[in-house]
Structure 1
Amino acid sequence: MKEETHIGMNRTGIQMSPFDTSAMQAPPASEIPATPGSEAALAQMRSLYIAEADTLGSVPVPGTVKGALTTGVSMLTGNNPEILLDKLGERLAFERTSTRLYDALITKVETLQEGTTSMTLGELRKIREEEFRHFTMVAAAIESLGGDPTSQTPCADLVGVESMGLMQVITDPRTTLAQSLHAILVAEMTDNNGWELLIALAEDQGQNSMMVDFSVALDSERSHLQMVQTWYEEATIGQAISNEAVDEAESPPSQQLH
């Protein structure tokens, strides 16, 4: 059982070194010009980088004759297939990461063996398989448009960077079940929003078959979100109850009578 949240020797705050506080807040030595803090220089440097930077990337040119024809016809009818392909690439990347997030969470649950939530390994494995099915469904949708599901679009690159923090939380051996579920909750909220936008884009470009498939996926993701939210609340409340029980057990007998 992982040790629950507790009061310990956290030395990160300024209050932990009261004798050094004044020195830390004092102005610089006389030989160093004292200048007020300003974000202007940092903002100016960032502005220069923003003005000169390229974009994250591009949607690749179709690598097959079928793909080129499909994209060309779509553009001639006034659609923007590159936008749909970019967002499909985003969902593909995120569903792949979601599958891996649940793989990592399953390992943590198996190891900790906590009974603070109604969550079961069977439910986690079912969600994991649904995330993987969504991944394969999006890959097929990309191929149906003549795209290459192995290519990394700009939005796929973006969510790959965004989700690295979530993976780090769950795979960190120090994080508790409640903390890991919080990361999964963030992922599920993002996932729901992503599917809603993808459905709107598919409708805008007349991709009726995709709309049906994506709506089914969204229903599943909404169910995932509800379950994870419940488990997170249970784990957090269960952790608080566990801490109270430990405090009561460790308190002197005279204090336990009150």
Structure 2
Amino acid sequence: MGMNRTGIQMSPLDSRAMQEVEPAIVSSDGVDERALAELRSDYIANADALGSVPLPGTLTGAVTVGVSMLKGDSPQILLDKLGERLAFERTGTRLYDALITKCDIMLTEDMSMTIDDLEQIRADEARHFLMVADAIESLGGDPTSQTPSADLVGVESMGLVQVLNDPRTTIAQSLHAIVTAELSDKAGWETLVALADEHGLAEMVDSFTQALNEEREHLALTQTWYEEAIGLTYGDVEIDDAASLLQAPE
């Protein structure tokens, strides 16, 4: 609790004046937002796409993608989602770098989370990044290019990066952002497993399923640590056993 003066209850006279809106700017149904909606509609109707999946930069890549498309597959969708995962795993690695730095200063013995736990998860994220880069190259793609979905998750994750790197945020607040990232990461790997299976890429299905199980483990751990940090409960999830909590049935 502190001297938070952001709410209107802190100044009854001023809050009353703020709510006395001039009739000229209010329609019979409330504030008229039709003009703003029309402006947005015009931008939407005339906007370019967020980006495109790049053409393969090598002859081998072009042949690989071309053969796949002739077979009726959609390799551009898989490559786009691989680019998305690549971008997010890179960001995930940086999120854990930031959390480790914060915990070096702020972590107490009241939590079951340790720096070693965080470093292991950070290593998993970095390994997943390299795995996805290899997968993109095996399909003839360029892992250094930014696909539309990679662009999208880059924008989505900007807030998470800001939270973790803000020196004012607590460990609990940082873990809230980490749990948000892990939820998204789990969903992303589930999509990749399904896409790889649809394209008959058995080796990718196996490696992506392993990554998915590790992300489920990360999610179970970070949720436990977050609950500890806000005093909701005190968990004893071990890093080697957490995957069983969210393991999907065979």
Corresponding residue number in structure 2 for 1:105: 99
Equivalent position of 1:14 in the other structure: 8
Counterpart selection for 2:149 from 142, 155, 172 = 155
Q: How many residues align?
A: 230
The CA deviation at 1:27 is: 3.0
1:114 is displaced (CA, Å) by 2.2
Corresponding position: 1:65 with 2:59: yes
Contact 2:107 2:171 in 1 (8 A): no
Displacement of 1:67 in angstroms is 0.3
Residue 238 of structure 1 deviates from its aligned partner by 7.2
Which of 169, 176, 186 does residue 182 from structure 1 map onto?
176
Secondary structure (helix, strand or coil) at the match of 2:223 reads: helix
Give the TM-score normalised by structure 1.
0.87
Q: CA deviation at 1:107?
A: 0.3
Q: Share of identical aligned residues, percent?
A: 64
Q: Give the whole-Å Cα distance in 2 for the aligned partners of 1:33 and 1:43.
A: 19
**Matching residue's letter, 2:66:** G
| Partner residue in 2 for 1:243 | none
**CA displacement, residues 128-167 of structure 1 (integer Å, 9 cap, x when unaligned):** 0010000000000000000000000000000000000001
- Which amino acid is 2:173 matched to? Q
Quick one: which of 94, 116, 127 aligns to 1:122?
Answer: 116
Is the Cα–Cα contact under 8 Å of residues 117 and 238 in structure 1 kept in the other structure? no
Segments of 5+ residues of structure 2 without an aligned counterpart are: 234-250
Asked if structure 2 preserves the Cα contact closer than 8 Å seen for 1:199 and 1:214, the reply is yes
Unaligned ranges ≥5, structure 1: 1-6, 240-258
Partner of 2:36: 42
Return the offset for 1:34.
4.1
Aligned to 1:33, the other structure's residue is in SS state: helix
Larger RCO (CA within 8 A; separation ≥ 6): 1
Point out the more displaced range, 145-154 or 15-24.
15-24
Residue number in structure 2 paired with 1:33: 24
> What is the root-mean-square deviation of aligned Cα atoms in Å?
1.3
